[in-house]
């Protein structure tokens, strides 16, 4: 994993590299998780993001891993959805209550 500010270069199992931008991070149950969007999809109408878990190797270096446990993934994905939805104030929609 290489990092330049909020851009990460991730390498998959086949050695393919892709760049992702960090859009959020959360600490849940003593673990840190990150949400990333592919850099090349920034201009698309509907952005999809990936959620990965931060782990440390024996030298203390951080690396990202996929979340294999379905329950853990669902809990983390729900928490990110809540975080992203909280960024929008749906109660203050202009003109909604105006008559």
Question: The pTM is what?
Answer: 0.74
Inter-CA distances, 70 with 15, 18, 23, 74, Å: 25, 24, 22, 6
Counting as low any pLDDT under 70, the low residues of the chain are 1-4, 41-47, 87-99
pLDDT digits (tens, 9 = 90+) for 10-24: 888 899 999 999 999
Which position has the token pair 């749906």?
90
């Amino acid at each position: 994993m290489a990092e330049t500010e909020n851009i990460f270069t991730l390498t998959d199992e086949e050695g393919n590299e892709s760049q992702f931008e960090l859009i959020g991070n959360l600490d849940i149950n003593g673990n840190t998780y990150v949400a990333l969007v592919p850099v090349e999809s920034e201009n698309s109408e509907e952005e999809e993001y990936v959620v990965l878990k931060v782990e440390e190797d024996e030298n203390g270096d951080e690396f990202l891993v996929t979340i294999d446990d379905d329950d853990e993934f669902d809990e983390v994905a729900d928490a990110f959805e809540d975080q992203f939805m909280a960024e929008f104030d749906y109660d203050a929609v202009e003109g909604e209550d105006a008559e």
